[in-house]
């Protein structure tokens, strides 16, 4: 039980820190100013890029000039199938991306914003992702079936454990209610 709590706490902390830097995990923020800049943002709840009006100040990185740019950044079918994108900002972040044309990982400089998921910290990380991506695509139907069945089994076990705990509690309460009057 403690292991599960620790695991979910770790996942929650990691997800929160990732949301701080990933524009696709940020909420759509129109900002407080009253300018009228038609923009696009990724809505996590629907998994779609939606149009909104940016007011011209504040806001966050979940703001794109076009639907195409938003989708290229946020809608990931397979990160290695996406193009290598440097982004619009001017930071200097050495990165690696998988180039589908050459079938190799290539070094590039990421600008710090408006890139996509085809970005890795090292050549080794990029190569591993491309190998896993190829293997996953070949086994996708089998993996989906196994993963879905695994979740079904887990939920089924949790449900039956919860029902068993409730029945045990009910039996203890009933036994206590029956025994207590006889003890007087």
CB atoms within 10 A of CB 61: 18
pLDDT digits (tens, 9 = 90+) for 81-140: 888 999 889 999 999 999 988 999 999 999 998 888 899 999 999 998 888 776 655 554
Residue 11 has pLDDT above 50, yes or no: no
pLDDT of residue 163: 59
1-75 folds as Factor Xa Inhibitor (4.10.410)
Parse the chain into domains and list their residue ranges.
1-75, 78-172
C-alpha 27/C-alpha 63 separation (Å) is 10
pLDDT of residue 7: 41
32 — pLDDT class (breaks 50, 70, 90): very high
pLDDT of residue 41: 96
CA 97 to mean position of chain CA atoms:
19
What is the average pLDDT value for the chain, to the nearest integer? 77
Domains 1-75 and 78-172 share a fold: yes
C-alpha 36/C-alpha 171 separation (Å) is 65
C-alpha 143/C-alpha 148 separation (Å) is 8
Q: What is the CATH number of domain 78-172?
A: 4.10.410.10
């Amino acid at each position: 039980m403690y292991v599960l709590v620790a695991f979910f706490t770790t996942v929650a902390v990691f997800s929160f820190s990732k949301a701080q830097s990933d524009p696709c995990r940020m909420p759509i923020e129109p900002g407080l100013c009253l300018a009228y800049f038609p923009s696009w943002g990724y809505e996590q709840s629907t998994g779609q890029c939606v149009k909104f009006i940016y007011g011209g100040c504040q806001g966050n990185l979940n703001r794109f000039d076009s639907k195409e740019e938003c989708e290229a950044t946020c809608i990931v079918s397979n990160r290695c199938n996406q193009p290598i994108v440097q982004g619009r900002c001017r930071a200097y972040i050495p990165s690696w991306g998988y180039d589908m044309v050459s079938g190799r990982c290539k070094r590039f400089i990421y600008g710090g914003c408006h890139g996509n998921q085809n970005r890795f910290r090292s050549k080794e990380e990029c190569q591993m992702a491309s190998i896993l991506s190829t293997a996953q695509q070949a086994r996708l139907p089998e993996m989906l079936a196994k993963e879905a069945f695994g979740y079904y089994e887990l939920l089924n076990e949790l449900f039956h454990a919860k029902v068993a705990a409730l029945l045990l509690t009910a039996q203890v309460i009933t036994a206590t209610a029956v025994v207590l009057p006889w003890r007087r």
